[in-house]
Amino acid sequence: MTSPHILVVGGAGYIGSHMVKMLAAQGYAVTTLDNLSTGYRDAIVGGEFIHGDLADRPALDRLFAEQTFDAVMHFASYIQVGESVKEPAKYYENNVTNTLNLLDAMVSRGIKRFIFSSSAAVYGDPHTVPIPENHSKDPINPYGRTKWIVEQILSDYDTAYGLKSVSLRYFNAAGADPQGQLGERHEPETHLIPLVLRAASGRAPDIKVFGRDYDTPDGTCIRDYVHVEDLCSAHRLALDGLMQGKASSAYNLGNGSGFSVAEVIATSIQVTGCNIPVTDQPRRAGDPPRLVADARRARAELGWHPQFDSLDTIIAHAWAWEQKLAKR
C-alpha cells in the first residue's frame, strides 16, 4: 500500500513546519504549498515544496490535476488580532476568500478530507471557563470571525459536497520542536512566550505586561498554553480519523490548565536562569481575562494525549530555540 499523500498548506510557518516534519517522519508522503509571505523555506524539513498562493485558483487546479492527495491540512492564515481590526480586508481576503479557493479546487477534484487550523478566538469573550466546544460562537475581532466563517462554510460543504473536515480550535500554541530544529519565527512577534524569551536572551530590552488589573488572582490574563508538537499529534489523529471514514467534527486543543502572564514570566526566569526586565503597560485591546480549554472531547474522541503539557517543558523547548535564533 502506498503512503497517504498529504498537502500541507502553510507548511513553512510555525505550526505547519512542525506538522510537515512529523508527517514525513511517520512515513506519510507530504507536499507543502506556501507563498513564503510569513513562512521560511528552510523550515520545510520534509517532503516536496511548491511555492504558490491560494489566491491563484488556476495554479491550485493545476496542482490537483497533476498530483493526487488523500487529505489537505490548512495552516496558511494571518493570525494577528490587532492587525485584523485595523485591516479586516486583508484577513477576510486571505483567511476566507483564499480558503474558499482551496476548498472549491478540492471539491472539483473530489478531494474530501480537510483539516482546518481554527482558534479559541471563535468563542470571543467566554461566559463559561473552561470553554467547551458547544459554547456560543461570538468572536470579538475580524480574525476570530474569519475562523468561525470558515467553520460554517465547512459545515455547509459537508452537507452539499460530502467534504469531511476537522476544525481544530487552538488555544495558545507555544513551544518548539523538542529536537531543536524548528520553532516560532513570527515577524513581528506578538506572542507572550517568545517575547518573554527574547527579553531573557537580550534580543529585547524587556517584556511588556499588558494590564495587571484583570479580575484574575494576580491581575494578569490567563491562557492555556499548548505545545506545538501536541497540536501536531492532534492533527495526525484527526487525519487518521478522516481516513477511517469518521464524520466531520471540531475540537478544542488546550491542556485545560491556565497560566497567568506573571506566572509565565516567573517560570521563564526559573527555566532560563536569566533576569527578565518587566515593564507594565495598559491593557491590550480585545484581550479576554481568561481563556482555558475544556479539551476532553479531543482526548475522548481522538485519543489525544498531550505529551508536553507542563509549562516548564513548553518554555524550555521555546528557550532552546530562542538561544539558537539569538546566535544567528
- Taking CB under 6 A as the binding criterion, the range among 187-195, 231-239, 246-254, 271-279 that sits at the site for ligand UDP is 187-195
What Rg do the C-alpha atoms of the chain give, in angstroms?
19
* Active-site residue flag, 143: yes
CB-nearer residue toward ligand UDP: 57 or 284: 284
Asked whether position 297 contacts ligand UDP by CB under 6 A, the answer is: no
The C-alpha atoms of residue 6 and residue 9 are separated, in whole angstroms, by 9
Q: Please name which of 125, 119, 34, 137 lies closest in space to residue 79, comparing C-alpha atoms.
A: 119
- Taking CB under 6 A as the binding criterion, the range among 93-101, 153-161, 202-210, 240-248 that sits at the site for ligand UDP is 202-210
- Taking CB under 6 A as the binding criterion, the range among 8-16, 101-109, 141-149, 185-193 that sits at the site for ligand UDP is 185-193
Q: Tell me phi and psi for residue 42, to 5 degrees.
A: -75, 0
Q: Enter the C-alpha cell of residue 320.
A: 532552546
Minimum distance, C-beta of residue 144 to ligand UDP, in the bound complex (Å): 10
**Which residues make Cβ contacts (< 8 Å) with residue 181, sequence separation at least 6?**
21, 45
Helix and strand element counts for the chain (H, E):
11, 14
Query: Residue 60's beta-bridge partner residues?
Result: none
Asked whether position 147 contacts ligand UDP by CB under 6 A, the answer is: no
Asked whether position 293 contacts ligand UDP by CB under 6 A, the answer is: no
The binder of ligand UDP chosen from 7, 20, 102, 221 (CB under 6 A):
221
Q: Enter the C-alpha cell of residue 111.
A: 478531494
The C-alpha atoms of residue 294 and residue 289 are separated, in whole angstroms, by 16
Q: Are 226 and 232 in contact (CB under 8 A)?
A: no
The binder of ligand UDP chosen from 15, 129, 197, 261 (CB under 6 A):
261
Asked whether position 198 contacts ligand UDP by CB under 6 A, the answer is: no
Asked whether position 131 contacts ligand UDP by CB under 6 A, the answer is: no
Binding positions for ligand UDP, rule: CB under 6 A: 81, 172, 190-192, 195, 207-210, 221, 223, 261, 284, 287
Active site residues: 143
